[in-house]
Amino acid sequence: MKYVGNKDLLRHHKTAFLASGKISSEEVMQCYDWATEMRDRGECVVSGFSSKLEQDVLHFLLKGSQPIIIVLARRMYKQLPEQWQQALDSRRLLIISTSDATRQSKATAAERNRYVAGLCESIRFAGVSPESSLYPLFAEYKEKVDDKDTSVIRRET
């Protein structure tokens, strides 16, 4: 593993955010509200921030001052995205690379998601259904899912 940023963030209580590629507009809005709430509460959020929704959530989080951990499913960037620089400079960002692959693949993303789920004390899943590639991870880490996470509970029943 390779790290850039503040490794002390690993000591915080961490909540993972993992989103399926298929998600309803209602659930998208719930995720935006959740991201804003996490930002306002100063909670540390961990994700790969690779899907469109995850990138949107990162956008909300970067506007705050809370800790963020980005876990890449590929090798570390040679040049970090410019929008991450302020958070990095203020020591509230940690970037972890879990793979030496040049690009993210389904296999490296699955490995990254498993790492994120194991790293965090709680998990927010979005858009998970039995057909989702995240469903096995949801089933394995169900005890870490916040009881208020109705998007998962509703979809599973």
Residue reference for tokens 């993303």: 109
Work out the mean pLDDT of the chain and round it to a whole number: 91
Report pLDDT for 150. Answer: 45
**Range 70-83 average pLDDT:** 95
Average pLDDT over residues 67-89: 96
Q: Which of 6, 12, 2 is nearest to 94 (CA)?
A: 6
What is the reported pLDDT for 157?
A: 33
* Amino acid 21: pLDDT: 86
Total domain count for the chain? Answer: 1
**Sheet with strand 2-5: strands edge to edge:** 2-5, 93-97, 68-72, 44-47, 14-19, 122-126
Residue 147: pLDDT band with limits 50, 70, 90: low
Lowest mean pLDDT among 18-27, 36-45, 51-60: 18-27
Give yes or no for a contact between 117 and 140, defined as CB atoms under 8 angstroms apart: yes
Cα separation, 137 vs 111, whole angstroms: 11
Write the pLDDT tens digit of every residue in 90-140: 999 999 999 999 999 999 999 999 999 999 999 999 999 898 999 999 999
Please state the pTM of the whole predicted model: 0.91
Residue of higher predicted confidence among 48 and 21: 48
Which whole number is the average pLDDT over 140-156? 63
CATH code of residue 89? 3.40.50.450
pLDDT at 19 over 50: yes
The residue to which tokens 């400079």 are assigned: 89
Give the residue numbers spanning the domain of 54. Answer: 2-156
Band of the pLDDT at 43, cuts 50, 70, 90?
Answer: very high
Tallying the residues shown for the chain, one arrives at: 157
The Cα–Cα gap between 35 and 59 comes to 9
pLDDT score of 62 more than 70: yes
Mean pLDDT across 7-26? 94
